[in-house]
Amino acid sequence: MLKIYAFADEAGSSMDRQISAMKRNSLSGVELRGTEYGNVSDLKPEQAKDIRRRLDDEGLEVWSIGSPLGKIGINDPFEPELDKLKRTLDTADILGSSNIRMFSFYTPKDRPQEEFKNAVTDRLSAMAEISKNRARLCHENEKGIYGENDIRCLEILENIPEIAGVFDPANFVQSGVDTLKAWELLKSRIKYLHIKDALPDGKVVPAGKGAGNVGKIVSEYVAMGGVAMTVEPHLTVFSGLASLEREGERSQVGEVYSYPDSDSAFDAACSALKEILR
């Protein structure tokens, strides 16, 4: 049975607002990222237990941990990132999540990304070893990181089979990648989808309104037996957006479609996916 989750922090940072947004859109739960206590990877055990209790009370689950792991420079110190991974694994255990979303490191803009293949592979392999028999690491494609295109995503997933893939159509569009070619290349290794769309100029729009071929990809994913997808609205600026971006860069959020508030933008994103599924 297909389950729909969301980055509910785009509706509001408090868990009350996130729960309300999920309930009114009949979602199965959350890909937990931002909370009233801060980022999910910085939660203390008692904070994670409080969130788990409140979600359980409403019949909602944490499908994946929307961590920022791997969203540092490839030349930045690695030990602090491993410490964060260990804390995030403990948090995933408390929250009952079997997946952790992560990335493959920013590379210097003035050097070819291929130069960093070995460094990236070594770091991701170390992370996969620490995560063994615990939550599954799920790599998301994103502009600016090593795995920003389909070829390097496949390289990562082939070289480190313990890591699964998260497919984000909008991020591929923003990286100049043909999403249908990327899907054909990667689909057998994709654990779940992020539902986000973008125009060729990079501006984020509701699913099905951009160049991401979201409808076709969703259709094929469901036909293959895919069981989960996460709505990631990005249709209006929300608390915590700046912390998701590389220093000096700005996402093109809320520039095409206008909504009166974050709740309306969140609901529009959910409705767009449901229209595709219909």
| Span 229-267, pLDDT tens digits | 999 999 985 555 555 656 656 555 556 788 989 999 999
b vs e for 70-94, b when ≥16 Cβ sit within 10 Å of the residue's Cβ? Answer: bbbebeeebeebeebbebbbebbeb
At CA 71, angle to CA 67 and CA 76, rounded to 5? 130
The per-residue pLDDT of the chain, averaged, comes to: 94
What is the share, in percent, of the chain residues with pLDDT greater than 90? 90
What is the share, in percent, of the chain residues with pLDDT greater than 70? 93
Range of the domain at 181: 3-277
- 85/91 Cα distance (integer angstroms): 10
Question: How do 29-32 and 3-6 pair as beta strands?
Answer: parallel
Give, in order, the Cα–Cα distances in Å from 103 to each of 100, 121, 144, 265: 10, 12, 10, 26
Q: What is the mean predicted confidence (pLDDT) over 203-228?
A: 97
Output the domain CATH number for residue 174.
Answer: 3.20.20.150
Cα Rg for the chain, rounded, in angstroms? 17
Higher-pLDDT residue of 152, 250? 152
Is 33:240 a contact under the CB 8 Å cutoff? Answer: yes
Domain count, the chain: 1
Q: Tens digits of per-residue pLDDT, 61-87?
A: 999 999 999 999 999 999 999 999 999
Q: Is a pLDDT exceeding 70 seen at residue 215?
A: yes
Residue 92's pLDDT band, with cuts at 50, 70 and 90, is very high
